[in-house]
Structure 1
């Protein structure tokens, strides 16, 4: 697990933590400009409870890294456009209370402020942010370890299931052959029953014809007896 010193010294470790901007508001409320996106140098200094000169020194020393994480410096027409946008959003004390920079303005995003927190040594707030990041990292690693343990247990169970299925394979194969044999015997039985049904149908017709002949014979006998009585 990385330490606070390692986080201060290693840019690679800082890059790994750059997505955790949520920790800033958990440590202390971060007051943004009216656009809800940017802070001025003064706002960053107030957040970390240090002077603006300290923030400027960190910015100068790590400018390239901070620019990769959202630091911008506005001048000329870009600065005028930004002030115009901020004045249109400014509320509360009135437009005259909005502080306008004369020649240039450095803007920080949440991501940039988090980057400063991992660079600023002499700030209790920055130390709290780093501690929060490292604790969250430890919790995350513990969660991964627990998940890995669970996955290992599942894999172990699946291995046992695989062995059982291999042993069950021959049994299922024999059962399949027996079922096929039963299917063939049932088919043969159906054929026999069908043939018997046809033969019984023929017998039924023969019985019907025999009944007809018996009725005719009975009528003839009655007629013969009637004649003899005369």
Structure 2
């Protein structure tokens, strides 16, 4: 049977009851900085009503145990996403401008419960441990009730997870709707410009088509003239051949007119 001192001293004992995160809400509402199920170090300190440094020391001394139960150091894209969610959910930021940071420690509900089993001088943590011990004793005395309670708790966690996912999806849909509205306004402004450009392009197409037709007709005329000139050349060669035949037949030589004579 667990006792308060056992929970404070035994890591294996804490591990055996770390899943009973529902006791946190039974003692006091755990407020998160965002709609996600992650509490900052300040959130945890506010819940247990202790200085921020106290939680930081506990996190440093028991880092491995808390990390195994859901304490995470956010960096890079994960940190950016968390800060974006914080600014989108919180209506009263702590300062006028978001502060740049290289990392941020956040706690799952399971990690917060582990902190409750490690804090000695917090009244709220003591209440959590007392409630936790009562739940464990009741579970041993009434196993059927415990099975129902576990099923109910699993359902509650599922609903909570779905609610968080819906909140994120709702924000994304809202962002898409806003972007769609802005795009619609831009397209509406560009509509007349696009219409004028389209009309100019159509006129240019008509001119190009007319130029193509004129070029085709010109090519046809040039081709006909070339053919006519070729035919005239053949006719002239035939006439020269006939003239030479006549000259030979009469025995006459072609007379070359003197220079300056009229033709």
TM-score in terms of structure 2 length? 0.51
* Residue segments in structure 2 that go unaligned for 5+ positions in a row: 147-263
* Distance change (3 Å), C-alpha of 1:117 and 1:57: same
Residues 1:53 and 2:53 are matched in the alignment = yes
Q: CA deviation at 1:2?
A: 1.1
Q: Label 1:12 to 1:6 Cα distance change in 2 as closer, same or farther (>3 A).
A: same
Cα pair distance change 1:103/1:134, threshold 3 Å: same
> What residue in structure 1 maps to residue 135 of structure 2?
136
SS at match of 1:70: coil
- 1:41 matched to which residue of 2? 41
With normalisation by structure 1, the TM-score equals 0.58
The 1:146/1:56 distance shift into structure 2, 3 A limit, reads closer
**Cα displacement (A) at 1:96:** 6.2
SS at match of 1:122: coil
SS, match of residue 19 in structure 1:
coil
Matched residue of 2:39: which SS? coil
Point out which structure has higher relative CO (alpha carbons under 8 A, 6+ apart).
1
Counting only pairs closer than 5 Å after superposition, residues 55-204 of structure 1 correspond to structure 2 as 55-88=55-88, 90-93=89-92, 100=99, 102-144=101-143
Distance 2:143 2:8 in 1: 25
Question: 1:114–1:146: structure 2 CA closer, same or farther, 3 Å change rule?
Answer: closer
Q: How many residues align?
A: 146
Deviation at 1:62, TM superposition (A): 0.4
Q: Distance in 1 between matches of 2:100 and 2:60?
A: 19
Deviation at 1:92, TM superposition (A): 2.9
Determine the C-alpha separation between the residues in 1 that align with 2:98 and 2:122. 25
CA RMSD after TM alignment: 2.5
Query: Cα deviations across residues 20-75 of structure 1 (Å, max 9, x unaligned)?
Result: 11110110111012223111111100100100111011000000000011111123
